Copies of this chain bind each other. A is one copy, B any other.
Amino acid sequence: MSPAPEVVALAGGVGAARFLRGLVRAIPPRNVTAIVNTGDDREFYGVHVSPDLDIVTYTLAGAIHPERGYGLAGDTTHVIDALGALGHETWFRLGDRDLATSLHRTQALRAGRGLAEICDEVRRAYGVETRILPMSEDPCPTFVNLSGGRRVHFEEYLARDGAPDDVESVDLSDAGSARPGPGVLEAIARADVIVVCPSNPVVSIGPILAVPGVRDAVIDAAAPVVGVSPIIGGAPVKGPADRLLRGIGAEVSARGVARLYAGLCDAYVLDERDRDQLDDVVALGLRARTTETLMRDADVALALARRTLELALDR
């Protein structure tokens, strides 16, 4: 058997985390490096919250809230409930133990330490062997422009406003002037396989690729690049990818996402249910394969990770 490849995964939140849970069973967890979106990061109550970094960490630790896909299993919300009584908004449902992670991060950032080092420390404290790298240590908030000239932070769009459908465009300009996080470009250059996880292409993968140097590093890497469709049967599994894809003028389909990734990816995995789109994806110049992509449990995630690596490595 050939040695397990070194895999770099570009990752957003829930979908990526569930894929990574399978990937770290397909190959040793230490062979995986997740490069994670920080465009969702935002201060709440003066505390630096990094939703996607924490979702990936908690999921790989087996500590994630199983139904919600974010936050910690069994967590309470006593702090934000008390903040609500003091007049604060509480639409971002940050749990108590989850808040501890963010308090730790905030204090360490204020002490002058870097987000990457802090993230590494947290994932080790949670017993996670997989490296988790923030895409950037610079602030790169993603904004969503809505009809009527309204402009909101992505978390306001998603968690506060319930992801309305009047998206006019997505503003990644802060990511567009950020520096890649420590280790990001090096990990990409060294990878044997690069996976674009089944995450929101607009607001999860988009910010990572918007950081100057990252897209070029992926394209220039010797490793094959394989994308996994986040769209099944014309709809996202979770989250507002449909509204955001429409907002940027893309088709809400596996094929529509493949079009966004053509020029970046060499290969593409789409769901069995989207078999009718296989030829269109191949016509984009991508090696493609269909399989079960709805990760309703860890075994499906494992099988999907295996199929994805096999396709990437052309085995």
Contact = CB atoms under 8 A, between A and B. Distances in A.
A159 interface: no
A63 to B, nearest CB: 11
Contact of A79 (B45, B85, B88, B96): B96
Interface residues of A, number: 28
A139 B81 CA distance: 29
Nearest to A75: B78
A27 B142 CA distance: 55
B106 A86 contact: no
A103 interface: yes
Nearest to A118: B86
A267 B15 CA distance: 71
A82 B75 CA distance: 11
A110 to B, nearest CB: 6
Contacts of A45: 103-104, 107
Contacts of A83: 100, 103-104
Nearest to A100: B82
Contact of A97 (B82, B101, B106, B107): B82
Please give the count of copies of this chain that the complex contains. 2
Interface in A86-145: 86-88, 96-97, 99-101, 103-104, 106-107, 110, 121-122, 125
A300 interface: no
Contacts of A79: 79, 96-97, 99-100, 103
Contact of A125 (B81, B86, B101, B122): B86
Interface of A: 45-47, 75-76, 78-83, 85-88, 96-97, 99-101, 103-104, 106-107, 110, 121-122, 125
Closest 5 CB pairs of A and B: A82-B100, A46-B107, A78-B96, A82-B97, A83-B100
